[in-house]
């Protein structure tokens, strides 16, 4: 009997998940985490207005969602002072990256990223047969000059970088990044500028880029500052021709109806956004203080997490991670050296950071013992 037949490309790929979720780890552990500080979710939650909008929309969940996310696109366009045809709404940044790679990357096409940067992007590139080329971080920052030079060297169709960065939390000045794009981004290469954490960053971090510029597409999300990670809402800002091309491949009814309503309410609640930003700033300071109490340094962060340098190598960080997991605290670490000397701790509420503080020292002592 003949069964299913995968494509040769699919047959060649490993069965993998870019991130092992906390729910999977909780099932493996047989208990819930006491403090969930590893996924860069907003533990401060969504806007109360978003919650009301989600609840009201759930009563009409029997309807398909608006296939073009009209109201949300219009509001995003007003917020960014662009036209609606500069905006594409999709199922989180992850979904948008998948569509974008499908549009641009054919088997064998070159793509450039940083070694240790967002692995889900790499997952999509592999899934469509692209060939990844990687450059190293420099002083815990992604290196635009090296990224663009590598893109020119290999004839890349896409180059990916995030600003602010995940997993290190570092950032580049927007004016300097805009200059690097103008001076060094090679002809025919599209920059995917991931700005998932931009609302937490200092003023001036977002570069001034003409929304009609066909060389750059920016991605943003409602998962971080808006506290709606479970709703899966992201959007891209780009040239109208590129944005229109998404209609050739996207899932036209992929956007959840309630999620669209919740995201719209969250976007309009600017007071709550400012409140969340302030709470994250306080949490960053406290995480750094907890680390400093044990003789450790933390990287300056423009995100809703802090990378804490454990002063060793990846093996030490992994032992610390394992010990914290055993104590009910979920955190993560970067995947490659030398970034993996750090652990990444999401901002949380006072009660979450109380648990972190309680368990940090004992877990670190055991990790150091090897």
pLDDT single digits (tens) 304-338: 999 999 999 999 999 999 999 999 999 999 999 99
pLDDT single digits (tens) 228-257: 999 999 999 999 999 999 999 999 999 999
CA atoms within 13 A on the CB side of 48: 3
Q: What is the pTM of this model?
A: 0.96
CB atoms within 10 A of CB 213: 13
SS3 sequence of 55-111: HHHHCCCCCCCCCCCHHHHHHHHHHHCCCHHHEEEECHHHHHHHHHHHHHCCCCCEE
Task: Determine the pLDDT at residue 20.
Answer: 84
**Domain 20-45+271-369 and domain 48-268 have a common topology:** no
| Strands 35-36 and 216-221, bridge-based pairing | unpaired
Q: How far is CA 157 from CA 9, 94, 114, 133, in A?
A: 20, 19, 15, 11
Is-contact 289 295, C-beta < 8 A?
A: no
CA distance 200 to 279: 10
| Tens place of pLDDT per residue across the chain (370 aa) | 678 999 999 999 988 878 888 999 999 999 999 999 999 999 999 999 999 999 999 999 999 999 999 999 999 999 999 999 999 999 999 999 999 999 999 999 999 999 999 999 999 999 999 999 999 999 999 999 999 999 999 999 999 999 999 999 999 999 999 999 999 999 999 999 999 999 999 999 999 999 999 999 999 999 999 999 999 999 999 999 999 999 999 999 999 999 999 999 999 999 999 999 999 999 999 999 999 999 999 999 999 999 999 999 999 999 999 999 999 999 999 999 999 999 999 999 999 999 999 999 999 999 999 8
Q: 305-332 burial by CB neighbour count: b if 16+ within 10 A, else e?
A: bbbbbbebebebbebbbebbbebbbbbb
Q: Peptide bond preceding 223: is omega within 30 degrees of 0, i.e. cis?
A: no
Task: Determine the pLDDT at residue 318.
Answer: 98
The 3-state DSSP class for residue 22 equals: helix
Task: Determine the pLDDT at residue 1.
Answer: 63
Task: Determine the pLDDT at residue 17.
Answer: 78
Is-contact 171 144, C-beta < 8 A?
A: no
| Top CATH class, 20-45+271-369 | alpha beta
State which fold the 48-268 domain adopts: 3.40.640
Give the tokens for residue 110.
């070159």
List the domain boundaries for the chain. 20-45+271-369, 48-268
CA distance 219 to 194: 5
């Amino acid at each position: 009997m003949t069964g299913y037949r995968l494509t040769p490309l699919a047959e060649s790929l490993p069965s993998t998940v870019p991130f092992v979720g906390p729910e999977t780890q909780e099932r493996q552990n047989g208990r819930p985490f006491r403090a969930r500080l590893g996924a860069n979710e907003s533990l401060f939650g969504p806007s109360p207005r978003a919650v009301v909008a989600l609840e009201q929309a759930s009563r009409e969940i029997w309807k398909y969602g608006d296939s073009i996310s009209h109201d949300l696109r219009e509001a995003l366009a007003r917020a960014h002072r662009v036209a609606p045809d500069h905006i594409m709404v999709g199922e989180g940044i992850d979904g948008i990256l998948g569509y974008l790679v499908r549009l641009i990357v054919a088997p064998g096409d070159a793509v450039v990223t940083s070694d240790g940067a967002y692995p889900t992007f790499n997952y999509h590139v592999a899934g469509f047969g692209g060939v990844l080329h990687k450059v190293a971080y420099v002083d815990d920052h992604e290196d635009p000059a090296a990224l663009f030079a590598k893109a020119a060297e290999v004839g890349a169709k896409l180059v990916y970088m995030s600003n602010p960065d995940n997993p290190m939390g570092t950032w580049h000045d927007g004016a300097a990044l805009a200059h690097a794009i103008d001076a060094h981004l090679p002809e025919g290469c599209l920059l995917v500028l991931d700005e998932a954490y931009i609302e937490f960053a200092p003023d001036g971090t977002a570069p001034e880029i003409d929304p009609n510029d066909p060389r750059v597409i920016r991605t943003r999300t409602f998962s971080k500052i808006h506290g709606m990670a479970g709703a899966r809402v992201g959007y891209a800002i780009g040239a109208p021709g590129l944005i229109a091309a998404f209609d050739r491949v996207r899932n036209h009814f992929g956007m959840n109806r309630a999620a669209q309503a919740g995201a719209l309410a969250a976007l309009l609640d600017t007071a709550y956004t400012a409140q969340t930003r302030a709470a994250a700033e306080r949490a960053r300071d406290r995480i750094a203080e907890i680390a400093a109490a044990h003789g450790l340094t933390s990287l300056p962060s423009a995100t809703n997490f802090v990378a804490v340098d454990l002063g060793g190598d990846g093996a030490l960080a992994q032992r610390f991670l394992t010990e914290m997991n055993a104590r009910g605290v979920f955190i993560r670490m970067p995947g490659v050296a030398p970034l993996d000397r750090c652990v990444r701790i999401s901002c949380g509420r006072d009660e979450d950071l109380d648990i972190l503080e309680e368990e940090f020292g004992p877990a670190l002592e055991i990790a150091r013992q090897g």
